[in-house]
């Protein structure tokens, strides 16, 4: 009988199985492992960022240049073909650090003269460059044309259409040289 006092018989539940009270307090290793798994899982989701679209896309880069040449000489009328300043130059798309090259393309050798409705940019040569295979998900990209100055541009702007980007020239004023 003394052994029964040391080891009480557990009460039986509704299904006839013993009920173990406070079983979770006896498993600190189990709780530690479960907490570690949750932390690792949450970290993996945050680093992976499944909500970010990482599929490659075709970036659209537009430019408008004042010092252009119309094919037949002179300044020309709106809609006529013109030759942009950066005709035939290489456009390179870098990651946000500006160190890793992601894609490149060559600028068009022809553009279209903008009408007077574009305000300060009326008469400028408007050119569109499409850079294929740019990996998505960077957020900010660095762009360099012809080995010149590197500038930052958002992924949202690179994904816009040429028409949407061209409309921006209507609202923008040409900076005054000082």
pLDDT tens-digit readout, 96-140: 888 899 999 998 888 888 888 888 888 888 899 999 999 988 889
Alpha-carbon dihedral 131, 136, 139, 142, rounded to 10 degrees: -30
Two tokens, residue 109:
């050798």
Work out the mean pLDDT of the chain and round it to a whole number: 76
Let me know: does 82 contact 69? Beta carbons within 8 Å. yes
Q: Give the span between the Cα atoms of 94 and 103, in whole angstroms.
A: 7
CA-CA-CA-CA dihedral for 97, 152, 92, 95, to nearest 10: 30
d(CA 61, CA 157): 9
Model confidence band, residue 178 (pLDDT cutoffs 50, 70, 90)? very low
Find residue 82's DSSP bridge partners. 70, 111
Query: Which tens digit of pLDDT belongs to each residue from 5-35?
Result: 565 555 555 555 655 666 556 566 666 777 7
Task: Read off the pLDDT of residues 32-86 as tens digits, 9 standing for 90 and up.
Answer: 777 777 776 666 555 555 656 678 889 999 988 876 555 544 455 666 888 888 8
Report how far residue 76's alpha carbon sits from residue 64's, in angstroms, rounded to the nearest whole number.
15
Instruction: Tell me which residue of 71, 61, 79 sits closest to 117, measured CA to CA.
Output: 79
In percent, the amount of the chain with pLDDT more than 90 equals 16
Contact 56, 93 (CB under 8 A): no
């Amino acid at each position: 009988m003394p052994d029964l006092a040391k080891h009480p018989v557990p009460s039986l539940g509704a299904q006839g199985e013993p009920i173990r009270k406070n079983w979770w307090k006896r498993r600190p290793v189990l709780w530690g492992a479960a907490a570690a798994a949750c932390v690792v899982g949450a970290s993996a989701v945050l680093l992976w960022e499944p909500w970010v679209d990482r599929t490659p896309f075709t970036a659209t880069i537009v430019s408008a240049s004042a010092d252009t040449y119309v094919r037949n000489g002179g300044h020309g009328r709106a809609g006529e073909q013109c030759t942009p300043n950066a005709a035939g130059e290489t456009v390179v798309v870098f990651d946000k650090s500006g160190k890793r090259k992601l894609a490149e393309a060559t600028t068009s050798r022809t553009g279209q003269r903008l009408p007077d409705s574009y305000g300060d940019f009326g008469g400028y040569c408007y050119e569109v460059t499409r850079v294929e295979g740019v990996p998505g998900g960077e957020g900010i990209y660095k762009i360099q044309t012809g080995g010149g100055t590197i500038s930052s541009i958002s992924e949202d702007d690179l994904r816009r259409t040429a028409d949407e980007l061209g409309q921006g020239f209507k609202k923008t004023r040409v900076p005054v040289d000082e």
